[in-house]
Amino acid sequence: MTDKRKPLLVVEDDPALQKQMRWAFDAYEVLTANDRESAIAQLRRFEPAVITMDLGLPPKPDDPDVGFELLQEILSHTPDTKVIVISGQHDRANALRAISLGAYDFCEKPFQPELLTLILERAFRLYELQAENRRLQEVAGGSVTGIVTRDPEMAKVCRTVEKVAGTNATVMLLGESGTGKELLARSVHDNSSRKDRKFVAINCAAIPENLLESELFGYEKGAFTGAVKQTIGKIEMASGGTLFLDEIGDLPLPLQAKLLRFLQERVIERIGGREEIAVDVRIVCATHQDLKTLIANGRFREDLYYRLAEIVLRIPPLRERKGDANLLAHAFVRRFAAENRRSTPTLLPAAIDAIEAHLWPGNVRELENCAKRAVIMAEGSTLTAEDFSLEPAEVDPEAFNLRRVRDEAERNAVVRVLGRVNGNISKAAEMLGVSRPTLYDLMEKYGLRT
């Protein structure tokens, strides 16, 4: 019968202390190691979530800092492992140094089993919460790679991407800068039958007007001064795959007409050429602008809009995605910590409050940059609001009280329905799905009886 207890790795060179810890922590499958080599072997074999480690491992002649080097090696192999260092009573400086290197916590010798048990339980619980958070993030966007969300509107966008990806419909993505339009465009391509062909992106706002036509359609040798060889354009380059036209609202009017012709006939002519070239390409476009306003102002062709807008997806800004800012912050912190071969820092409650309160005008891109800077500049194992360059936020704890939230929702529903039926109790009770006595009780509870 296999042992179902959670593995706990104890790195300790004292056999008597090893035996004591086996006895004290029999709720776990205690694995032991007495040096660096056996510790790494156990780590690779069992991948324990939590490790206790004696900083005072016997030094080697050529390696006096063996304890600290082992700590760094453990965290480079498994950055999310919680390492609890065991230090002597007069070795607090080294314990703090270990914390700065990424250790989860420390305990002084001789340790108290009750205290260390609490630290272990908290470490295992944190590891499990972070693992569950990663699992939720991985499935949050379904097959839309890279999207992390629990917001219903954003999840709806992801489901629509999955539905339309397998078709050849032209997709238009509308949303503020930094909301992830290119990520969704790539997901359309990656989930389509064209995924093995090229995904070609061009930003219509980033290229001067006099160069944009040649970038899109290509040119023949000698078509203009400097055209020393035949050059294929982005549309032709994407043949068989997907062409992503970012910031389509900035496409100049003359090129709008030429793009419309291509969408209608699916052929192009290179600049300076006479030959019509058939191109099979799926078009995905995006803009942060209001195309209806541009059409009204004569800056965007209405017929081109309806050619491009076969499927229109509106991507909500981050400030409207309730809970997603902190979900994304955790994901970014974990990713950048792994990229920098560091243990994942913990976001302190004040940082979480500040992230939730901030409006994020730069959307996900702004949050990503803040998280990257916070991880790089962090001096310890925790992140504060200041690490994210945010002002501390005042948060009402009652905002998370479910009873209060339910009461407010209930009161608002009663008020709205009474207004709709002009105070008719029978009709109001019917609409609310309750009896008349229950409705009277609710009105009494919320001070609505006159």
User: What are the domain boundaries of the chain?
Assistant: 7-137, 152-314, 319-388, 399-445
What's the mean per-residue pLDDT of the chain? Answer: 88
What is the model's pLDDT at position 417? 85
Hey, what's the torsion of the CAs at 67, 70, 74, 75, to 10 degrees?
70
**Second-level CATH architecture of 319-388:** Orthogonal Bundle (1.10)
What is the model's pLDDT at position 414? 87
- Under 8 Å CB-to-CB from 7, ≥6 apart: which residues? 28, 29, 31, 46, 47, 48, 49
Q: Give the homologous superfamily in CATH for domain 7-137.
A: Response regulator (3.40.50.2300)
The CATH number of the structural domain formed by 399-445 is 1.10.10
What is the model's pLDDT at position 1? 42
Residue found by looking up tokens 């209060």 in the block:
404
> Which tokens is 108 given?
């002084």
Of 87 and 105, the structure prediction assigns the larger pLDDT to: 105
Cα separation, 149 vs 184, whole angstroms: 13
pLDDT-based confidence at residue 199 (cuts at 50, 70, 90): very high
Cα separation, 70 vs 64, whole angstroms: 12
- Under 8 Å CB-to-CB from 382, ≥6 apart: which residues? 345, 346, 347, 348
Of 245 and 58, the structure prediction assigns the larger pLDDT to: 245
Check if 319-388 and 399-445 are the same fold.
Answer: no
pLDDT-based confidence at residue 443 (cuts at 50, 70, 90): confident
What is the model's pLDDT at position 279? 96
Cα separation, 340 vs 376, whole angstroms: 8
DSSP H helices, 166-301, are: 181-190, 209-217, 234-237, 253-265, 291-296
Q: Is 196 left (phi over 0), alpha (psi -120 to 50) or beta?
A: alpha
User: What stretches of 58-160 adopt beta strand conformation (E)?
Assistant: 82-87, 105-108
Q: What's the pTM value of the predicted model, to 2 decimals?
A: 0.62
Amino acid occupying residue 394: E
Fold of 152-314: Rossmann fold (3.40.50)
Tell me: pLDDT of 370 over 60: yes
Cα separation, 332 vs 326, whole angstroms: 10
Give pLDDT tens digits for 400-442.
566 777 878 888 888 888 877 777 888 888 888 888 888 888 8
Cα separation, 245 vs 348, whole angstroms: 40
Tell me: pLDDT of 205 over 50: yes
pLDDT, average across residues 388-401: 71
Q: Is 391 left (phi over 0), alpha (psi -120 to 50) or beta?
A: beta
What is the model's pLDDT at position 82? 94
What is the model's pLDDT at position 399? 54
pLDDT-based confidence at residue 163 (cuts at 50, 70, 90): very high
Residue 179's CB: how many other CB atoms inside 10 A? 25
Query: Up-side HSE of residue 267: CA atoms within 13 Å toward CB?
Result: 8
Of 394 and 439, the structure prediction assigns the larger pLDDT to: 439
Q: Taken in order 356, 357, 363, 366, is the CA torsion positive or negative?
A: negative
> Closest Cα partner for 114 from 28, 37, 24?
24
Cα separation, 410 vs 122, whole angstroms: 37
Give pLDDT tens digits for 120-152.
999 998 888 888 766 655 444 455 667 888 888
What kind and span of H or E run contains 272? none
What is the model's pLDDT at position 134? 63
